[in-house]
Chains A and B, each alone.
Chain A
Amino acid sequence: MVRILHTSDVQLDAPFGFLGGRGTDHRRQLRETFAKIVKLAGEQGYDLLLIAGDLFNDNRPARDTVNFVSRKLGELSIPVCILPGNHDCYDSDSVYRKHSFPANVHILTERPTYLEFEDLDLIVAGSPLISANDSRPPLQDIIRRDDRRWFVALAHGNLQIPGYIESDARPIAPDEIVACAADYVALGDWHAFADYSQGDVKAFYSGAPEPTALAQSGAGNVASVTLSDDGVEVKPIQVGSTSASTLAIDLSDLSEAEVIALIRAQADPSLMLSVSLTGLKGIDHLIDLEAVHEAVAADFYWVQVTDFSATALDNIDPAEYPETHVIGQYIRMMQEKIAESENEAERHRAEQALQIGFALLRGEEVLR
């Protein structure tokens, strides 16, 4: 029996522009979570740690970060296999060329690379990405060579799901998963834990251990893999300290206070929440996004509120706002502008202008 811990897409030292001032906190969190994974691998009886690409966010991580990774991995008594991904590709400037790693760390640098672990009766194979734009199928040329030993494949790329995901970049065809005949295919590049087993071949994305962007709702796990005569068992283990989620709120009949209350219902200091305001709102239904954000920001690790709602123009009765009035005229002119909008941004601006002007003409003090 061989026990494997599989992670990917840690993206150490990634910039988090969307987190504003919390970027530093999140980078620190990524490190802590990585240390947690290494500790898990070392203390829970695993035989092998697999990192299926994008351990680093790029090939220029801080030296301190590389030293940290080397130190942590060097503390392990088990082998570690690292597959360079698109973020930390094995190019001439690769972090894996510039720095030395402990002896138990095996970087897959050839295309393909086969590593034999006699003690584990196991072969690990994978093809690194040699540039950020390396679009070759990562499972191409990976094939089982020895039926008597366990065979694990590593691949960093995009699984092809006909009609749903058909990417030209680093495509992994379901047939290739079957063809490689591995006992387990450790996938990386997607940030959510997911089972994409094909036929008899178990294939899983471990997902990123921490979300690196908003709306990465499946992030936060590693994959615990057990290869035994009884079969291959894979289960997720929660390691992330933060989570990401999305919330869509239909503004149609909600006041600003009600919107705030709905967002607050999700309050979680470890949650990155992306709130989308949707639906058709009344012309007089002006939501102050900044006020909403300000009201809920302290309740979350990070919250972003984006207004995707549209203004309900069909239910504005011309008789209620006759064109003999400025307000009626204003509404009609803005309706024309909205109808003539050439893109979504222009339409959104016109709708906002309609709402603000409408409110001002009704005597509301909306320009605080």
Chain B
Amino acid sequence: MRINRIRLQRFGCFDDLEVQFQPGINVIKGPNEAGKSTLHQALLLALLERPTKKKSTEPYRTWGQERWYRLDVEFVNDQDGPWILSKDFESSDQVLSDAQGNDLKGSDQVQAVVESALGTTSLGIFKSTVCVSQDALTDISAGRKEISQSLEQIVTGGDEDVRTESAVKALEERVREYRRGYLTHAPVNPGPIARLEVEQKHLSDTAKQFMARVEDRQRHLDEQRKAQDRLAEIEEEFGPRQALLARVEQSQSIKAELDKWTERERTLDSRLESIFKAEQAAEVAGHQLQELQPVSEATDEQIQLITRLHERVEVLSGEKERVLRYREEQRAKSAKGKRPARSAVVAPGLVTALGIVGVLFGFLALALSQNQAIGGTITALGLLVALVGMGWLFIAYSRSGRVPSTVAVPEIDPAQLTAAQNELNQKLAELQCADMEELDNQWRQVQTFRRLSDKAEAQLKGMIPEGKTKEELEEARRVASRKRRDAEEQLSAPELEQATSLDMIEVLKLQEEVSALQTERQDLENSLNRLAGKLEEPSVTREDLLRAEEQLAAVEAELERAKDRLAVYELALETMEAARSKTLKRAQDELAPRLGGYLQRLTLGRFSEVAVDGDLRIMVRHPNNTTDMVEPGLLSNGSQDQLYMAARLALVDLLFAETRPPIFLDDPFVKFDPQRRQAAIELCQQIAKDRQVLLFTCSDHYDQTGHLIELKGAT
């Protein structure tokens, strides 16, 4: 690629400047402020900058000009051309015209042509490779930047201030920030993910807590509703049952009253009946006693006296009779003889005879039998029987001839008996009794009736409480009767009909039901009180819960995004480091021999062996030290500049081998000694055979080097 010419209008110090270039080396010479840097920038902008008004293009406007600048550059490719690229920064138009005057206005088409010409459309890459400025060399020689960093910066495609390192650093910082407290320990200053996780946990806990409380409240409300419903059912069931039970109790109470008054009435009836009977008995007894007068009026002493008198009469009469009967018996005995009756002596005689026979038989047995015991026994038994028979005979004879010689025969005094008899008769007459038997009979009756009367009296006394009268008892009975009738009337009331119809089992069942309902009602009321207490507590509403859940959802979404961003940053970082590594390795492989070749020419053979490591750190074998490679910092300032220059040229070879864009050299040889400057010029001349070289300088050293373009400042 080669630039033929450029026209600057209202650009920097140039109102209108056209510069023609030649193949090979073009030396753009001028003093300070002559516009070399302006032309340099104009070339870069004309080729690679979008014609838009922006901050980076603002500084090149001509002072006092309203309109923005316009740049027209003509160039040729190896394959085609010439092309005229016109960029109007006022209208933001760019036009690429070919040799036949055909215009390409589409930015894509323009970019395609420029890229095929330059090898890049990136101004940054262009500036960091083909543009070798004296400033950069100065920086390196001043030790402010490591050469390797500069080289790395070049191969990473950034401009002077941008490097892969800074991109990696930015990503590392971001990744570190996002991982802080999330994947690393950072309790004090957590990163966004950790903060969101804390917030998420807090909101999640809050939402769970709210959920539990809302569910609790809902459960309490449900329980309250069920309890209230059940309570209403109980009230419906309880009312009638309780009323029925009350009527049952009322009827039972009335029944008890009825029983009480019935019993009372019956008792009083019975008592009054008894009283009546006792009174009748007393009356009968009294009447009988009256009938038995005067005996009934006699005293016990009187009767006893009469009884004793009668006994005396009896005794006297008895004695008289006994004496008379004794005498008669004695007379009878004398008349009959002394022999007892035959019948009385037959039996004893037979017994006696039997006994004697027994004895004889015994003796015979003793005599005839060898057995003495049998014989003895028979003899003894016979003797015993004989003795009994004899005794019996004796008694019979004794009886037949006995005389009571021991009983005294009294003498009877008839007067006594008569007197006693008279007195007795008198007494009996007084009592209007014919004889003692009548008296005894009447007296027994009197005693009977007296006992009956006493008994009736006693009964009456017992049946009528002390201080009471029969009339009062009768009144009490009437009251009891009335009360009973009242109770019976109450029990027969219609409202008590059901209550009274229940049997005991049904009543017990009813009582159990009412009791169970009362217990359940009490439990429910307690439960409702408890629930009311709970429901009065500060509550979390469903709205609170929904809000918390929505906040949680928002935080979770944010957390998800943050994690996603971290994944993006980590992926970018990981890939960028890999890309950097791979690029540097490639650069390292190709850079070292090229760099060594250029360095050997620029240093006139003093330095030739160069090593480049994976981080593009350059090491040079020092001529005085044949064994070790040394860092560039140990070289002289001039040698460092030459090393840098060689590295740039090697990189240009590496990066733009095919398109071979012009090389822009901005006075890079200022600190070179004359020999090495000459070597550099010769190298440039060699390079210029293959590509265009634009050398910007304020020095006259290069006047003969190539096509000289002198700038004289503002036009």
Q: B152: shortest Cβ distance to chain A, in Å?
A: 8
Given A98-B225, A333-B579, residue A325 in contact with residue B157 (CB < 8 A): yes
Interface pair B546/A319, CB less than 8 Å apart: no
Chain B residues contacting A61 (CB-CB under 8 Å) are 542
Q: A326: shortest Cβ distance to chain B, in Å?
A: 4
Interface pair B158/A63, CB less than 8 Å apart: no
A-B contact pairs, 30 of them (CB 8 A): A18-B553, A19-B550, A21-B550, A23-B546, A24-B543, A61-B542, A98-B225, A317-B115, A319-B115, A319-B119, A320-B120, A320-B121, A321-B122, A322-B655, A324-B586, A325-B157, A326-B584, A327-B157, A330-B580, A332-B579, A333-B579, A333-B582, A334-B575, A350-B571, A352-B568, A353-B571, A357-B572, A357-B575, A361-B156, A363-B161
Asked if B125 CB lies within 8 Å of chain A CBs, one says yes
Q: Report the bound CA distance from A317 to B116 in whole Å.
A: 11
Interface pair B157/A367, CB less than 8 Å apart: no
Residue from B171, B225, B543, B549 whose CB has the most chain A CB atoms within 10 Å: B543
Chain B residues contacting A337 (CB-CB under 8 Å) are 571, 575
Q: Report the bound CA distance from A161 to B700 in whole Å.
A: 88
Given A98-B222, A333-B575, A357-B572, residue A367 in contact with residue B174 (CB < 8 A): yes
Asked if A356 CB lies within 8 Å of chain B CBs, one says yes
Interface pair A17/B564, CB less than 8 Å apart: no
Asked if A162 CB lies within 8 Å of chain B CBs, one says no
CB 8 Å contact bits of B148-175 with A (1 = contact, 0 = none): 0000000111110110101100110110
Interface pair B546/A361, CB less than 8 Å apart: no
Interface pair B124/A362, CB less than 8 Å apart: yes
Asked if A20 CB lies within 8 Å of chain B CBs, one says yes
Chain A residues contacting B364 (CB-CB under 8 Å) are none
Interface pair B550/A23, CB less than 8 Å apart: yes
A 194-236 contacts with B by CB, 8 A:
none
Question: Could you tell me the dominant secondary structure of chain A's interface residues?
Answer: helix
Chain A residues contacting B546 (CB-CB under 8 Å) are 13, 15, 23-24, 27
Residue from A13, A17, A327 whose CB has the most chain B CB atoms within 10 Å: A327
Asked if A16 CB lies within 8 Å of chain B CBs, one says yes
Interface pair B550/A330, CB less than 8 Å apart: no
Chain B residues contacting A257 (CB-CB under 8 Å) are none
> Which of A15, A18, A356 has a CB less than 8 Å from the CB of B569?
A356
Asked if B459 CB lies within 8 Å of chain A CBs, one says no
Chain A residues contacting B473 (CB-CB under 8 Å) are none
Q: B564: shortest Cβ distance to chain A, in Å?
A: 7
Interface pair B549/A15, CB less than 8 Å apart: yes
Interface pair A328/B157, CB less than 8 Å apart: yes
Chain B residues contacting A356 (CB-CB under 8 Å) are 171, 568-569, 572
Q: Report the bound CA distance from A356 to B575 in whole Å.
A: 12
Q: Report the bound CA distance from A17 to B556 in whole Å.
A: 10
Chain B residues contacting A334 (CB-CB under 8 Å) are 575
Q: Report the bound CA distance from A15 to B554 in whole Å.
A: 12
Besides the known contacts A15-B550, A61-B542, A325-B157, 12 further A-B residue pairs in the complex with CB atoms under 8 A apart: A17-B553, A24-B543, A24-B546, A319-B119, A324-B583, A332-B579, A353-B572, A357-B167, A357-B572, A360-B171, A362-B124, A367-B173
Q: Report the bound CA distance from A333 to B575 in whole Å.
A: 7
> Which of B120, B174, B542, B575 has a CB less than 8 Å from the CB of A60?
B542
Asked if A349 CB lies within 8 Å of chain B CBs, one says yes
Q: B656: shortest Cβ distance to chain A, in Å?
A: 9
Asked if B242 CB lies within 8 Å of chain A CBs, one says no
Chain A residues contacting B155 (CB-CB under 8 Å) are 324-326
> Which of B158, B542, B547 has a CB less than 8 Å from the CB of A362?
B158
Q: Report the bound CA distance from A322 to B122 in whole Å.
A: 11
Asked if B587 CB lies within 8 Å of chain A CBs, one says yes
Q: Report the bound CA distance from A320 to B162 in whole Å.
A: 18
CB 8 Å contact bits of B525-561 with A (1 = contact, 0 = none): 0000000000000000111001101110110000000
Asked if B345 CB lies within 8 Å of chain A CBs, one says no
Nearest B residue (CB) for A361 = B167
Q: B52: shortest Cβ distance to chain A, in Å?
A: 12
Asked if B409 CB lies within 8 Å of chain A CBs, one says no
A 305-344 contacts with B by CB, 8 A:
317, 319-330, 332-334, 337
> Which of B116, B158, B554, B571 has a CB less than 8 Å from the CB of A21?
B554
Interface pair A320/B122, CB less than 8 Å apart: yes
Chain A residues contacting B161 (CB-CB under 8 Å) are 363
> Which of A23, A317, A325, A349 has a CB less than 8 Å from the CB of B583?
A325
Contact-residue bracket for chain A: 35 or more
Q: A108: shortest Cβ distance to chain B, in Å?
A: 23
Chain B residues contacting A317 (CB-CB under 8 Å) are 115
8 shortest interchain CB distances as A-B pairs:
A17-B553, A363-B162, A360-B167, A329-B579, A330-B579, A353-B572, A62-B542, A325-B157
Q: A317: shortest Cβ distance to chain B, in Å?
A: 7
Q: B360: shortest Cβ distance to chain A, in Å?
A: 129
Q: Report the bound CA distance from A60 to B211 in whole Å.
A: 12
Given A20-B551, A362-B124, A363-B161, residue A325 in contact with residue B578 (CB < 8 A): no
Q: Report the bound CA distance from A345 to B567 in whole Å.
A: 11
Asked if B510 CB lies within 8 Å of chain A CBs, one says no
Given A62-B541, A322-B655, A357-B576, residue A349 in contact with residue B567 (CB < 8 A): yes
Interface pair A362/B551, CB less than 8 Å apart: no
Chain A residues contacting B679 (CB-CB under 8 Å) are none
Q: Report the bound CA distance from A332 to B583 in whole Å.
A: 12
> Which of B115, B221, B578 has a CB less than 8 Å from the CB of A63?
B221
Asked if B218 CB lies within 8 Å of chain A CBs, one says yes
Chain A residues contacting B553 (CB-CB under 8 Å) are 15, 17-18, 20
Interface pair B571/A324, CB less than 8 Å apart: no
Asked if B654 CB lies within 8 Å of chain A CBs, one says yes
Interface pair B547/A326, CB less than 8 Å apart: no
Q: Report the bound CA distance from A309 to B549 in whole Å.
A: 30
Given A24-B543, A320-B120, residue A353 in contact with residue B575 (CB < 8 A): yes
> Which of B164, B571, B586 has a CB less than 8 Å from the CB of A361?
B164
Chain A residues contacting B157 (CB-CB under 8 Å) are 321, 325-328, 361-362
Residue from A62, A330, A363 whose CB has the most chain B CB atoms within 10 Å: A330
Q: Report the bound CA distance from A327 to B122 in whole Å.
A: 11
Given A15-B546, A21-B554, A360-B171, residue A327 in contact with residue B568 (CB < 8 A): no
Interface pair B543/A62, CB less than 8 Å apart: yes
Q: A110: shortest Cβ distance to chain B, in Å?
A: 22
A 266-324 contacts with B by CB, 8 A:
317, 319-324
Interface pair B568/A363, CB less than 8 Å apart: no
Interface pair B115/A320, CB less than 8 Å apart: yes
Q: Report the bound CA distance from A227 to B572 in whole Å.
A: 66
Chain A residues contacting B543 (CB-CB under 8 Å) are 24, 27, 62
Q: Report the bound CA distance from A326 to B128 in whole Å.
A: 13
Chain A residues contacting B119 (CB-CB under 8 Å) are 319, 322
Q: B645: shortest Cβ distance to chain A, in Å?
A: 20
Interface pair B156/A325, CB less than 8 Å apart: yes
Residue from A19, A322, A326 whose CB has the most chain B CB atoms within 10 Å: A326
Nearest A residue (CB) for B655 = A324
Chain B residues contacting A320 (CB-CB under 8 Å) are 115, 120-122
Interface pair B156/A349, CB less than 8 Å apart: no
Q: A348: shortest Cβ distance to chain B, in Å?
A: 9
> Which of A98, A326, A350 has a CB less than 8 Å from the CB of B156?
A326
Chain B residues contacting A367 (CB-CB under 8 Å) are 170-171, 173-174
Q: B235: shortest Cβ distance to chain A, in Å?
A: 18
Q: B615: shortest Cβ distance to chain A, in Å?
A: 12
Q: A237: shortest Cβ distance to chain B, in Å?
A: 29
Residue from A317, A321, A357 whose CB has the most chain B CB atoms within 10 Å: A357
Interface pair B158/A349, CB less than 8 Å apart: no
Chain B residues contacting A322 (CB-CB under 8 Å) are 119-120, 655
Chain A residues contacting B586 (CB-CB under 8 Å) are 323-324
Q: Report the bound CA distance from A317 to B115 in whole Å.
A: 10
Chain B residues contacting A327 (CB-CB under 8 Å) are 156-157, 579
Q: Report the bound CA distance from A61 to B545 in whole Å.
A: 12
Q: B172: shortest Cβ distance to chain A, in Å?
A: 11
Given A13-B542, A324-B583, residue A330 in contact with residue B575 (CB < 8 A): yes
CB 8 Å contact bits of B54-76 with A (1 = contact, 0 = none): 00000000000000000000000
